[in-house]
């Protein structure tokens, strides 16, 4: 009567808060997910959650199954890891580079969790690969690269982690602060604050300004997100960052965030790995842990 997919579906529904987003997380259409839940409810002869509530409100039966899922699913993951070790797949090396300056917010908890379960795998983030990460991956100097800028390289696989929206941060007294979204033309007179990387690797240029034929009046760089926020808050410029990177500053009322264009600018974050490492159990587990951790700690992201 009960299957693991049912338990995973209920966890996704609880975490996502709606059928639409839960369907994305378990890679089903909303119709297929609704049918799966309805079929389970008919077997159990009881509803599992209240319809037309957001976030989803579970019934007592639904809460009982959620408790079961929280107990069973981690044990399944642990058993899978143990079986991989028994099969001799526990050894490995995971040297990685991050082309995303604001990714440490979710990557560090992922690495901590991974180390606890795969102590035999050597994990490191060596310095010196920030600007040569993907070629270094192909040369086997690295084993994984977090990137939003996939390049066609032989033998390299790009595993999508999640989608995120780029937002424009402006000071609370800025002339644009009362708007919901901005046009490329409105940034032509602004100082744009960016991380110190090529413009061809920044979504605000490649997906927003450059296609429209506009450039900012000035570009200023800063190494750290908090430095960028200080400059924006003091009226020294504006900056475009992933939505999750702005969450704490928006909650403090430090800055205002605007959509880039009426429809917004969305991108996908990838984990680049070599093709031959895709089937390694510890690599599969790291990627799964990365997705689960990112959705538990970041706001505003969507399944890729």
In the chain (304 residues long), the average pLDDT of successive 10-residue segments reads: 90 88 86 91 92 87 93 85 66 85 83 87 77 86 92 94 95 95 96 91 94 96 91 96 92 95 95 92 91 88 87
pLDDT at 290: 92
Helices (H) and strands (E) in the chain, counts: 11, 12
Question: pTM of whole model > 0.85?
Answer: no
Q: Which two tokens stand for residue 121?
A: 């795998």
Spatial separation of the C-alpha atoms in residues 94 and 277, rounded to whole Å: 10
Q: Which two tokens stand for residue 3?
A: 């299957």
pLDDT at 129: 54
pLDDT at 201: 85
Q: Is the peptide bond before 55 cis (omega within 30 degrees of 0)?
A: yes
pLDDT at 160: 94
Spatial separation of the C-alpha atoms in residues 222 and 242, rounded to whole Å: 16
pLDDT at 86: 57
| C-alpha atoms less than 13 angstroms from C-alpha of 32 in its C-beta half-sphere | 11
Beta strands in the chain (DSSP E): 49-50, 57-58, 92-98, 121-124, 144-147, 156-170, 181-182, 191-194, 218-221, 238-242, 256-260, 265-274
Per-residue CA distances from 135 to 123, 129, 159, 278, 287 (Å):
20, 9, 17, 18, 21
């Amino acid at each position: 009567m009960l299957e693991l997919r049912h338990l995973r579906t209920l966890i996704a529904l609880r975490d996502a808060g709606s059928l639409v987003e839960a369907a994305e997380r378990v890679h089903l259409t909303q119709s297929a997910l609704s049918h799966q839940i309805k079929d389970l409810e008919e077997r159990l002869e009881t509803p599992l959650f209240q319809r037309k509530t957001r976030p989803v409100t579970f019934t007592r039966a639904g809460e009982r199954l959620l408790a079961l899922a929280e107990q069973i699913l981690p044990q399944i993951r642990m058993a899978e890891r143990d079986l991989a070790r028994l099969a001799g797949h526990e050894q490995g090396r995971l040297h990685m580079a991050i082309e995303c300056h604001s990714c440490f917010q979710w990557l560090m908890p992922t690495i901590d969790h991974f180390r606890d379960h795969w102590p035999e795998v050597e994990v490191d983030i060596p310095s010196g690969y920030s600007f040569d990460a993907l070629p270094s991956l192909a040369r086997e100097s690295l084993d994984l690269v977090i990137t939003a800028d996939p390049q066609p390289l032989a033998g390299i696989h790009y595993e999508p982690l999640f989608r995120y929206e780029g937002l424009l941060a402006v000071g609370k007294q800025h002339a644009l602060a009362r708007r919901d979204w901005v046009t490329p033309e409105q940034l032509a007179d602004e100082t744009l604050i960016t991380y110190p990387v090529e413009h061809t690797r920044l979504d605000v240029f490649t997906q927003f300004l450059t296609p429209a034929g506009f450039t900012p009046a000035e570009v200023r760089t800063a190494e750290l997100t908090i430095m960028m926020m200080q400059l924006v808050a003091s009226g020294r410029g504006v900056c475009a960052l992933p939505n999750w990177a702005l969450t704490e500053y928006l909650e403090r009322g430090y800055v205002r965030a605007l959509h880039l264009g009426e429809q917004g600018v969305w991108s996908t974050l990838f984990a680049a790995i070599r093709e031959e490492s895709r089937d390694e159990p510890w690599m599969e587990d790291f990627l799964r842990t990365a997705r689960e951790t990112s959705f538990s700690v970041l706001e505003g992201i969507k399944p890729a």
